[in-house]
Structure 1
Amino acid sequence: MQQLKIGMLLFPDVTILDFTGPYELFIRAACFEVIIIGESIAPLKAEGGLMLQPNLALADCPQLDIIFVPGGRGINALLTNDTVLSFLRRQAVQAKYITSVCTGSLVLAAAGLLHGYKATTHWRSLELLQMFGVDTAEARVVRDRNRITGGGVTAGIDFGLVLTALIGGEEMAKIIQLQLEYNPAPPFRAGSPHTAGIPVLQSAREMTRHMLETRKKIIRDILQDQVLPSGKPS
C-alpha cells in the first residue's frame, strides 16, 4: 500500500489531545507516513508543560501529501507567524489534503487556506473562524473537497477515523477504532454547549472569555492589515 506523507505540526502550547488523538490513529494505519514537524527540532512545551520534540524542521520538510494543524493556546502566536503561514501556503499548492483539529483551523484560515470552504473548529471559536469569512458548521468533522477539519479536542479522534477511512479504507479505520477501544460513553452529557446546561455553559464561557477577546483582537488586526487604504485587499 502506498503511504501518504502526513506532516503533523507541533508548536509551543499545543493542546496535547488535539495532536495525540489523530496521532494514535495515524501511526497504526499502513497508509500513512507520519512526520512530526516544527519550526525547529528543539524540544517544546505543550499545554500543561509536557515536553515534545518535532523530528523535522519546516525548512527541511519534503512535500507533504497531507497537512495537519492541531489547536491550542499556542495558535495565538501562529496566527501572525510568517514562517509557519508561508510554509502552509507553499505546501498547500501540491498537498492532497489540508486538515486541522480544533483551533488549528484558525491557523489555516489565517494562511488563506479555507477561503471558499466550509470548516469547523471548537464550539467556542466558531465566531472567530467566521471572522475570516469561512462558512462554518458545528460538527465533529467537516469535509469540503480536500479540506477536512475537526471540532474541539476529542473530535480529533473522529477526524482521524474519517481521514484513515478515506485513505486506507473503512475496514482499516474500523480495525484501528477497535484496537483503541474508541467506544465513547461519557459519564455526563456536558460535552456540547447544547447539552451541558446553562450554569456549566456560562462558567465555560466566562473561563474562556479572555482567550476569545484576545484572539478577536489578533484576527481584527490581521484583517485590517490585509486591506489597503483604498479599501482593496492587499
Structure 2
Amino acid sequence: MASAPFTVYRMAVCLYNGVTSLDYQGPVELLALRSTPIRKMFPDLLGANETNCAIDATYLANTLDPIVPLAGPKVLPDQTYDDAKEQFDIIFIPGGACSVRKGTEHSLMNFLKRQGPHVKYILAVCTGSWILSSTGLLDGKRATSNKAMFKAIQEDTKDLPITWIAKARWVATEDKKIWSSSGITAGTDLAYAFLEHITGKGPAEASAGLLEMMVKGEGDDPFAAKYGLV
C-alpha cells in the first residue's frame, strides 16, 4: 500500500507589540515538535507515533523591529505583514494587551483579510478572536475568548453575527477551519485538539507526552463560572 503523501503546513504567527507571549509560545512549542528542522535533527523524537506532516512557523509583524511583548523577551519577526505574499496554510493569532480590535495595526488586519478566504485553518488564542472578529471571518460562526474580557468583547461585537460561547476551553467551527480558545494557557489545549484533528490521536498524544502536558477538553472551563458568565 502506498504511504500517505507528506504535507508541510506553513503557519503564520501574527505578532504585535503588547502580545501575550504564552498565548503563542506554548502552542508553537507543541506544534513545532513536527517542524521540518526538528524532524531532521531528531528523526526518532516521537518514535512510532510520527505522522506524514510538518508544521513550519513564520513570525510576522508590522515591521522588522523587535516585538516588545506584554512580558518576556523581545522577539525578532521573520517578515512584515505587507511583505508576506505567500498563501499560508495556518494563521495563528495570539491575544495581548493591545488587541482591542479598533486599535489593531492596519497591516495585520489587511493580512488577515487577504489570507482568510483561502487559508486552511485559523487558530485564535485568548483575545486573538477579538482581533479576528473585525475581519468578518467569524460572522455566522461560534467562538470563545478570554473569560476576564468576555463581557467587554460581547459588548464591543454586539452588532456582529458571532455566537460567543461562554463556557468553553476552546471552540472549533463546524467546518474545523477556525479554532478559538479561552485565555492564555488554554491556547495549548487548543493546539493539542487541532493537532489531533490533523494527525490523529496517537501522534497528538505522543507530542503532549513529550512535553508532559496535561490536556484539558473543550468543555473543561472553570473560568466561565469564576467570571460570572454561567
Q: Which category describes the TM-score, using the shorter chain as reference length?
A: 0.7 to 0.9
Structure 2 portions without partners, runs of 5+: 1-5, 35-52
Structure 1 portions without partners, runs of 5+: 203-234
CA distance in 2, matches of 1:166, 1:184: 15
SS of 2:7's equivalent in the other structure is coil
Structure with larger RCO (C-alpha < 8 A, sep 6+): 2
SS of 2:92's equivalent in the other structure is strand
Task: Give the superposed CA RMSD.
Answer: 2.2
Counterpart of 1:7 (choices 2, 8, 12) is 12
| AA in 1 matched with 2:128 | G
| Per-residue deviation, 1:151 | 0.9
| Per-residue deviation, 1:121 | 0.2
CA distance in 1, matches of 2:25, 2:222: 19
Counterpart of 2:100 (choices 56, 61, 76) is 76
CA distance in 1, matches of 2:71, 2:13: 20
1:167 match: 198
Note closer, same or farther for the CA distance 1:45–1:59 as it changes in structure 2 (3 Å cut). Answer: same
2:32 match: 27
Aligned residues: 193
| Per-residue deviation, 1:82 | 2.1
**What is the percentage of aligned positions where both structures have the same residue?**
28
Counterpart of 1:139 (choices 157, 161, 168) is 168
Counterpart of 2:142 (choices 118, 133, 157) is 118
CA distance in 1, matches of 2:54, 2:152: 33
1:231 match: none
Counterpart of 2:129 (choices 101, 105, 108) is 105
CA distance in 2, matches of 1:166, 1:51: 32
1:96 match: 120
CA distance in 2, matches of 1:6, 1:37: 10
| Per-residue deviation, 1:81 | 2.6
Note closer, same or farther for the CA distance 1:159–1:78 as it changes in structure 2 (3 Å cut). Answer: farther
TM-score by length of 1: 0.76
TM-score by length of 2: 0.77
